[in-house]
Amino acid sequence: MVQQHVEKTIEALLQERRTFDPPEEFASRAHAKDSSIFEQASADPEGWWASQAQRLDWFDEWHTVLEWNPPHHQWFLGGRLNAAHNCLDRHVATTPDRVAYHWIGEPGETRAVTYEQLHEEVCRLANVLKGLGVGKGDRVAIYMPMIPELPAAMLACARIGAPHSVVFGGFSAESLRDRINDAACKVLITADGGYRRGQVVPLKANADEAVAQTPSIEKVLVVRRTGEDVPMVEGRDVDYQDAVSGASAECPAEPMDAEDMLYILYTSGTTGKPKGIVHTTGGYMTGVSSTHHLVFDVKPESDVYWCAADIGWVTGHSYIVYGPLANGCTSILYEGAPDWPDKDRWWSIVQDYGVTILYTAPTAIRTFMKWGTELPAKHDLSSLRLLGSVGEPINPEAWIWYQEFIGGGKTPVVDTWWQTETGAIMISALPGITTLKPGSATKPFPGVDADVVDEQGNSVGRGNGGYLVLKRPTPSMLRTIFGDDQRYVETYFGKFGPEVYFPGDGCKLDDDGYFWLLGRVDDVMNVAGHRISTYEVESALVDHQAVAEAAVVGRVDPKEGEAIVAFVTPKAAVTGDEALLQELREHVAKVIGKIARPHSIVFTDDLPKTRSGKIMRRLLRDVAEERDLGDVTTLLNAPILDEIRTKASSLRAREE
């Protein structure tokens, strides 16, 4: 009954309320209320970004805002600053007792960490790192659960000018190993374990397995989180708490050039190993501070802000750590799963802490929709005044549900488009100015020159679809791929030339010039808001001794965004049965991490290929989505497709 009512309500809302003007009260108090900033920024983008850089503390002023030698760009040349200083020291001087993080452990413990306390922890840890031999420019790997020591570790690295490379705690030992080796990290900071759905995630055990094959790692710093007994390697492993409590709390912030590397973060690409996206200090800090201020309209004195992502992804880097701390705001940091111990954990947190701004992903919203409106309805969510979404296109139903049942029908919802590579939000509403359309990320942020173009790179104009492009660099965008600049040039500037950044997304412009993102156009899948390449999963599958060949595609999935479907040809004399299916799923989880585990596996004697031997994933995608097949004229072995189709549809029927 309730469900029926909800569906009817959403249907009615979708029909009746297609656009939402900013609520008057919200708009009158918003940081951005005058739409002339858009014109100002497009008339003088460099001047605009320079004004945003003034939000930061600089040790030395820059002499040049932008040096653009396409496809390379550098910002705020001559300027010197430190990210940790901007996130901590300047707030310690004014609001030392303000809470930086309200931390909530999954089992239920809580800690409030003030700016002063975080500053002290960071200084001590920075001294520990120095003592372990870490200097400016050395890379530090971080593999940790969502505990306050994680942002502290990132900021300690930033304080001494050592770029960090955070690896999501859900990744496997092998993924960690490859990322450490790619960046030749000197030290690893990890924990004994973390909690997820009541279980302990064995981070130290994974770290030990990884570090057995990472020649560059000299020391491993281990935070005690779960208190379990984990083996410590003599001479290599160091107890975090012991070391930090014995270190000095005095550590001056290293003045860094604006273009010095702040961090590396790995993300999936269409081919080859994950790409180490390089972000620098001045431009990145400018981008995250400015967007966090204007898109989330944060008032540090009164807001309780919650970005419910994991710090292991870029969303957490930019909007749990660097943006909110640069702006001196109070955030929630929650360690665990949304359904532990109950499916209303998030709504208890919102009520208990009076959360005012919530930022999450469509996949989470769709999960909450499935769990029903009774759960949020049990809690007082009236403190919420703004909601945000990121990671994949948000369908209008989910947008409306989010606004209605979480936001009480009154809060603006900002759908924010960006990527690991862009570092900060590029397309989003400004909630005090923009009229919202459910399902659209609306318009580019001031200073962002986005367009939609056709195959030749010509603007398609309003009312048409094509490829999303960014026609000018912005300060927060990546500078290169670590150790592989050629790949940077080819991946992002190979399609439309050196001046036009191609993010890999399809997009439509409506008659009002609103941007409607349509998902990836390349071989990268978006599973529950996380990018996974078909190539990575295929490599993991063929790495198994029973597999001769594999092709992987994403199928549109109502909850996850995309579900991974694998087509696998077993080696001769191997039977593709249920046992092998389970073994392969586990194998992929071990090699990459659980997020990459295929949802379905179809065993087949052959794969559809072109005459030159290239697997035609496009046709497999048609099969996976049960669509009519596209152009098959270049196909070498046409009959195999019928066979695959029959198998795939009987598998799908069984799954449903």
Binding site residues, ligand PRX, CB under 6 A: 267, 314-315, 390-393, 415-420, 441, 503-505, 517, 519-520, 526, 530-531
Minimum distance of ligand PRX from residue 319's CB (angstroms) = 9
Q: Which is nearer to ligand PRX, 178 or 415 (CB)?
A: 415
Minimum distance of ligand PRX from residue 59's CB (angstroms) = 30
The Cα–Cα gap between 576 and 345 comes to 41
Range 300-332 burial, b when 16+ CB lie within 10 A, else e: eeebbbbbbbbbbbbbbbbbbbbbbbbbbbbbb
Q: Which is nearer to ligand PRX, 38 or 417 (CB)?
A: 417
Q: Which is nearer to ligand PRX, 10 or 390 (CB)?
A: 390
The Cα–Cα gap between 314 and 266 comes to 9
Minimum distance of ligand PRX from residue 494's CB (angstroms) = 16
Minimum distance of ligand PRX from residue 526's CB (angstroms) = 5
- Asked whether 221 and 188 are in contact (CB, 8 A), the reply is yes
Q: Which is nearer to ligand PRX, 263 or 347 (CB)?
A: 263
Residues composing the chain: 656
The token duo for 407 is 């936001």
Summary count for the chain: helices (H), strands (E): 23, 30
Minimum distance of ligand PRX from residue 518's CB (angstroms) = 8
CA contacts within 13 A on the Cβ side of 319 = 32
The Cα–Cα gap between 656 and 381 comes to 35
Q: Which is nearer to ligand PRX, 402 or 417 (CB)?
A: 417
Q: Which is nearer to ligand PRX, 417 or 492 (CB)?
A: 417
Q: Which is nearer to ligand PRX, 114 or 416 (CB)?
A: 416
The token duo for 24 is 């008057």
Report which residue type is found at 338: P
Helices 639-655/617-624 angle, 10° precision: 40
The token duo for 634 is 């270049």
Q: Which is nearer to ligand PRX, 9 or 419 (CB)?
A: 419
Between the alpha carbon of residue 56 and those of residues 86, 136, 183, 291, 320, the distances in Å are 6, 21, 29, 13, 17
Q: Which is nearer to ligand PRX, 268 or 330 (CB)?
A: 268
The token duo for 353 is 């802490």
Minimum distance of ligand PRX from residue 344's CB (angstroms) = 26
Between the alpha carbon of residue 519 and those of residues 22, 68, 393, 496, 524, the distances in Å are 27, 29, 7, 19, 10
Cα 260 to chain centroid distance, Å, stands at 22
Which is nearest to 176 in space by CA: 214, 145, 149, 139?
214
Q: Which is nearer to ligand PRX, 82 or 268 (CB)?
A: 268
Cβ neighbours for 311, distance < 8 A, ≥ 6 positions apart: 146, 150, 151, 154, 166, 317, 320, 321
Q: Which is nearer to ligand PRX, 315 or 411 (CB)?
A: 315
Q: Which is nearer to ligand PRX, 175 or 416 (CB)?
A: 416
Minimum distance of ligand PRX from residue 540's CB (angstroms) = 19
Q: Which is nearer to ligand PRX, 247 or 517 (CB)?
A: 517
Minimum distance of ligand PRX from residue 505's CB (angstroms) = 5
Minimum distance of ligand PRX from residue 603's CB (angstroms) = 30
3-state SS assignment for residue 180: helix
Minimum distance of ligand PRX from residue 432's CB (angstroms) = 19
The Cα–Cα gap between 586 and 149 comes to 31
Which is nearest to 321 in space by CA: 98, 101, 94?
101
Stated as kind and residue range, the H or E segment containing 179 is helix 173-183
Stated as kind and residue range, the H or E segment containing 265 is strand 261-267
- Counting Cβ atoms within 10 Å, is residue 90 exposed (0-12), middle (13-18) or buried (19+)? middle
95 phi, psi to nearest 5 deg? -135, 65
Minimum distance of ligand PRX from residue 468's CB (angstroms) = 8
Minimum distance of ligand PRX from residue 418's CB (angstroms) = 5
The Cα–Cα gap between 405 and 347 comes to 11
The distance between the two most distant Cα atoms of the chain, rounded to a whole number of Å, is 72
Minimum distance of ligand PRX from residue 267's CB (angstroms) = 5
Minimum distance of ligand PRX from residue 392's CB (angstroms) = 5
